[in-house]
Amino acid sequence: KQEVTQIPAALSVPEGENLVLNCSFTDSAIYNLQWFRQDPGKGLTSLLLIQSSQREQTSGRLNASLDKSSGRSTLYIAASQPGDSATYLCAVPYGGSQGNLIFGKGTKLSVKP
Amino acid sequence: GAVVSQHPSWVICKSGTSVKIECRSLDFQATTMFWYRQFPKQSLMLMATSNEGSKATYEQGVEKDKFLINHASLTLSTLTVTSAHPEDSSFYICRATPGANYGYTFGSGTRLTVV
């Protein structure tokens, strides 16, 4: 059974810091891994999708890496801004690439001005 | 592309009433849509998989007679919470995708509060 864990559960940093969010999964046979952002009371915004054959994806100040063999992914946020404050979720599909998405509980990030 | 619209974004209803939530794929056809529920400070948990033209597949522990799912077209799935109770208060969100390489697109979610 696939389980996804995210640490830390919460993180508070001053503006401008670089930070790393961690995601681990128990079954390394994944098709892909996706990072999402969720603002309070809102839906999910897709940040980065990494296919199983890829090692990393970059979008602006965000960089996500994937190490399937160790069951880990990291989301690196450079030069954090108060607008980055949100909950960040990682998810992997289970039971096929179009199957259920298993989510971690998320990391709640607070960037203080 | 790959936009999923969910409506309403929030709803308050009285105990015992029913509430319908709509999920539409705006610029693609989705033979499969997924419905998730998220309780405060918890992960999103899959409730059911909605298949166009056939019955939905429910996850263990989800009452199919309480959470009615209809996927009558390739662009619309609806979730109806019947005889709602306060414990049904939660954040409901749908997901759809045009295909395996397009990632996963979610609706904006519906905050249901049952009073």
**pLDDT tens figures, B27-58:** 888 888 999 999 888 889 999 988 888 889 99
Residue A43 and residue B42: Cβ atoms within 8 Å?
A: no
Residue B6 and residue A105: Cβ atoms within 8 Å?
A: no
> Any idea how long chain B is?
115
Q: pLDDT tier at B14 (50, 70, 90 boundaries)? A: very high
Q: Which pLDDT does position B30 carry in this prediction?
A: 86
Q: Which pLDDT does position A40 carry in this prediction?
A: 84
> Any idea how long chain A is?
113
Task: Report residues of chain A scoring pLDDT below 50.
Answer: none
- The partner residue sitting opposite B97, judged by closest CB among A42, A98, A100, is A98
CA-based torsion, B8, A42, B38, A24: positive or negative: positive
- The answer, for A113 touching chain B at a CB cutoff of 8 Å, is no
Please state, rounded to an integer, the average pLDDT across all residues of chain A: 93
Closest CA to B80 of B5, B2, B13: B13
Percent of chain B with pLDDT over 70: 94
